[in-house]
Amino acid sequence: MDQLALAPHDHGEPHQPLLIARDLKKHFPVKGSGGKAVQAVDGISFTVRKGETLGIVGESGCGKSTLARLLLYLLVPDTGELVFDGAAVGDGITVGALRRHVQIVFQDSYSSLNPRMPIRDSVAFGPFVQGKPRGEARRIAREALARVRLDPDLFGPRYPHELSGGQKQRVNIARALATGPRMVILDEPVSALDKSIEAQVLNLLRALKRQLNLTYVFISHDLNVVRYLSDRVLVMYLGRVVELGPVEAIYARPAHPYTRALLASQPSMDPGRRIEQPPITGEPPNPISPPAGCRFHTRCPFAEALCTSVDPPLPLWTGPPSHIAACHLADRMRPARLT
């Protein structure tokens, strides 16, 4: 029996979102600064539907990596709630059980795998820790390696330093799959890879999602990749959600000025269509002391008086596919259609 393709036993009904994040906050106090803190994640709410891929985009400092760790309780949120398939974490489901259902693939770095452990032990560690006997854990590891198209006999006994970047990333994916999760969080999984290898890994991820009935949360700064993989996209800026909606709506009719600027900053691959003016000036501000009012107003070409004082709200719930943006002017402005 294929251990990895577990039949999903939904606690909730199919319409129950697999993951609900409510008002997650995580601040990191800065030592010696008199109570100031890095407001990495400052009130994030969204849902992840069963079987979808939710893409999360943002630039450095927006808090997406912190968010990834919050979803697994690798970091404990200061406030806020996480509900997995109808059961609140801490209440209806323990953190240990959460980690059986939700796994994470990190950005491949030289330290993502234990250099002293052969690959098969690294992959078998997850099932082993979750109670499987050694022999069975090894067997699961073999299956997982085969799933990511790495020959278990050839790669199992090897050490991380003998593998290329793309192969290591496949191992990371195998490690995440070995515990039989229902949801996988991918934190910049292809950013460190060459483009030709990136394509291979993306194809693999798509195939695995189909085969194993997975739900993905795909975090990246690369808008092209997010567009290719995601069903819905969430745009983050300085610890907040600024826009959320179906992927084509976001890319064709971005409602928030930041999203528009982000999309306009992507180089086309056509030398005949060069970007002449930077769509946005300045840099992302410091997450320690974000601007008052709308956090984006310091760089926003459309900012008005209201924006400097009042934080634009974002509705908590998205029922049917809907496209929301945290901008006072979203309704008034007619967003330009971007191809």
Partner 1 sequence: MNGAAALAEASDLRVRFVGREETIHAVNGVSFILPPGKVLCILGESGSGKTVTLRALMRLLPPRRSVIEGSVRIDGEDVLAMPPRVLRDLRGGLVAMVFQEPMTALDPVYTIGHQIIETVRRHTGCDRRTARARALELLELVRIPSAGQRLGAYPHELSGGLRQRAMIAMALSCRPRLLLADEPTTALDATVQVQILILLRNLQRELGMGMIFVTHDLGVAAEIADTVAVMYAGRIVETGSVERVLRAPVHPYTAGLLASTVHGQPRDCDINAIPGSPPDPRRFMPGCSFAPRCSRRQPVCTTNLPEPRFPEPGHMAACFAVPSAPVRLTLRAE
Partner 2 sequence: MAEINAAIVSEPRPLAGAGGVEAEQGPPSTRVRGYWRSVGFRLRHDPVTLAFAAVVLLIVLAALLAPALAPFDPYKESIIGRLKPFGWRGHLLGTDELGRDMLSRLLYGGRVSLLMGVVPVLIATLIGGLLGVIAGFLGGRTNTAIMRVMDVFYAFPSVLLAVAIAGAMGGGMANGMLALSLVFIPPMCRVAETATTQVRTLDFIEAARASGADTLTIIRYHVLGNVLGPVFIYASSLVSVSVLLASGLSFLGLGVRPPIPDWGLMLSTLRQSIYVVPYVCALPGVAIFVTSICFNLVSDGLRGAMDVRM
> Which residues of the chain form contacts with partner 1 (CB under 8 A)?
59-60, 164-167, 194-200, 202-203, 206, 221-225, 227-229, 261-262, 265-272, 274-281, 283-284
* Residues 31-70: x where in contact with partner 2 by CB under 8 A, - otherwise, as a string: --------------------------------------x-
Which residues within the stretch 108-127 sit at the binding site for partner 2 (CB under 8 A)? 109, 111-118, 122, 125-126
Position 324, amino acid: I
Q: Whats the size of the chain, residue-wise?
A: 339
150 binds partner 2 (CB under 8 A): yes
Applying CB under 8 A, among 83, 84, 132, 155 the residue interacting with partner 2 is 155
Smaller CB separation from partner 2, 94 or 309: 94
Task: State yes or no: residue 76 binds partner 2 (CB under 8 A).
Answer: no
| Closest approach of partner 1 to the CB of residue 330, in Å | 20
Task: Give the orientation angle of helix 119-129 with respect to helix 134-147, to 10 degrees.
Answer: 120
Q: Which residue blocks in the chain are alpha helix, DSSP H?
A: 64-71, 95-101, 119-129, 134-147, 152-155, 165-177, 195-212, 223-229, 247-252, 257-264, 305-309
The gap between the terminal CA atoms of the chain, to the nearest Å, is: 46
Which C-beta is closer to partner 1: that of 79 or that of 164? 164
Q: 153 in helix, strand or coil?
A: helix
- Contacted entry of partner 1, partner 2, none for residue 72, CB cut-off 5 to 8 Å set by kind: partner 2
Beta-bridge mates of residue 28: 38
Which does residue 149 bind out of partner 2, partner 1, none, counting CB within 5 to 8 angstroms by kind? partner 2
Out of partner 2, partner 1, none, what residue 198 binds, judged by CB under 5 to 8 A for its kind, is partner 1
Residue 165 amino acid letter: G
- Judged by beta carbon, residue 206 or residue 227, the one nearer partner 2 is 206
The answer to whether 19 touches 56, Cβ cutoff 8 Å, is no
Q: Which of 236, 278, 274, 239 is nearest to 258 (CA)?
A: 236
- Which residue, 40 or 242, has its beta carbon nearer to partner 2? 40
Nearer to partner 1, 137 or 223 (CB): 223
Alpha carbon distance 266, 275 (integer Å): 9
**Three-point CA angle 207, 216, 206, nearest 5°:** 15
267: left (phi over 0), alpha (psi -120 to 50) or beta: beta
Binding part of the chain for partner 2, among 41-49, 51-59, 94-102, 222-230 by CB under 8 A, reads 94-102
The rounded distance, in Å, linking the Cα atoms of 105 and 125 is: 15
Question: Interface residues for partner 2 in 169-198 (CB under 8 A)?
Answer: 170, 172, 175, 179
Stretch that binds partner 2, among 101-109, 188-196, 214-222, 290-298 (CB under 8 A): 101-109
